[in-house]
Structure 1
Amino acid sequence: VCKPKVEGGLGLRRVVDCNKAAVMRLTWNILTDRLSLWVRWCKDEILKGRSFWQIEWKQSLSVTWKHILKLHTPVSANLVYSIGCNSTWSLWHDPWFQNCPLFVRVGNRAIYNSGLPRDTTLSEVIQGARWNWPVQSSLCPFGCGQQESIDHLFFQCPFTKSIWRKVLHLNNCPFPAAWNWENIVIWALDHSIGNHFHLWMRRAGLAASVYHCWRERNNIIFRQYEASTSVLLARITSDVARKVAMCMSIIDTPTNRSIVDNWEIEESIFRPCSGYGAGLGGARFGNRRR
């Protein structure tokens, strides 16, 4: 039935092709900002200021929008972009470069280094008839204005340095003489090696601080989400306290109790001080017996 008449068919178009063409037409209306009530509704309720190409498939979308998103690839492959000083296309998310969004090719790090917002349009990086890309930046993502490096990121930045001061205070240990990666490693080897509880807590605090500071740095760069120092400290203390409660049974000594109180860990982790080694302030590793 759908074959051409010259081949003996009726020349009718396939329903699947007609449906695909209709959905592509809806996509075209959105991209060209056609004056219609439906397009206005999509802009306000679905896109909400984002590029059409930023919308991801999710269960709560309507059937129509699910079909629209399924045709992302064939639609982008058939678009021809006109690039100029007045281009309002999204620099990062529209598939203007070889039918592929620039974001997919260069990644989040390039967006961060460029210093350009995610809603930047093509016209903002074109001056006259030439590209006008900003000079790449390697500044600290925590906004202190200094160049990013391992030493600066973890120990010299005011944001992370305040985290370290608090964690060291929670463990009742002195501050290192110099704040850099090499000295911190030397300090950790001298002050946190051993099976005693307070030494284990120093290692746990060090590991949790490095992990959460690095994760926060990536959240700022790749997700544009920034947490306060109090929120970050709450995550560190919760992480350490959870590990202690699940994996250790601690001897109740003044030194251990002081650290437990600082970290606000439940006293149920203590075991009675009796028998050999009760005054050592050590810790028994492994799962707690019930």
Structure 2
Amino acid sequence: MEQSLWVKWCHAYLLQKFNFWTTPTTGFLSWSWRQILLLRPLAKEHIIYRCGNGEHFSLWYDPWLHGESVHALYGHRVIYDTGLDRLARVKNIIREGEWCWPQTSYDLIDLQQRVQNIPISSAPYSIHWNKVGEAFSTARAWQVIRRRSNVVPWRDVVWHPKRIPKHAFSLWLVLHAVGVIQNAACIFHCGETETLEHLFFQCPYSPKVWRDVLSLCNVFRPILSWTYEVLWMSTHAKGKEFHHTIRKLAFAATIYHLWIERNRRCFRNHFLPYQEIVQLVRQDVCGKLFNGNNSKRCEQHHSLCVNWGIPLGEMM
């Protein structure tokens, strides 16, 4: 990792003369670089340093001392007391395979005691993630630091393999009630207050869209409240069969285009009739499944392909 082009660029242009662990987070920094720097305390909890011969670790600033740096524990004074400069390496206080801190201050005497259980070897240094022997990867880091919650019943409705990313993200936001103003008048001018439950699907406009989309899915039933629509989808679109995939794509596309229409009316004062929203949903679902799907040669799947405009020649 240290020899990667990105790391070399970071050292040359971002770190320059600073150590990664002490680089300030103020100044003219990009948002992404600042966020990386702000994550250092969290990362340090899971990084394990093995000094080896001490050739590459900063004596003062790398957290090789039981997860902390010498500078963080003892401050600037200890650097002055050793007579070494700020660029000193761990190897500079190793003599003949033994720790050899100058005994010129109480802090240095304490340091000499602290390092006795840190092994020294002729092997090169190593850095491990979370446990000795485990290399760092973004996947492992994410699994360690992410906040875990219970699996929600609608997970597969949103994050299925055939999802359209922007649709899935919009649906996820709506399921978390992000962006809906709870005290404003409905933008579709029905005279009611805009709430999540009203927008999906109690407003006179949105049920027309959803009813037509359901009919394209060969589903004919009354429109339910938002909570029960999500529950119905979680139950009746649970699986990887063709008709389940159609329902999940159609649901997410409907939510996405209704939300776009809501914003279009709110910010651009431009209105589309509900039939055009249905056509936009149909185009997106058709486009996703146009070049490959798992439909079977049966009446149910044939009917769905006709409804959505998916070429029959693509049927498997």
Q: Scaled by the length of structure 2, what TM-score is found?
A: 0.41
After TM superposition, the score normalised by the length of structure 1 is 0.44
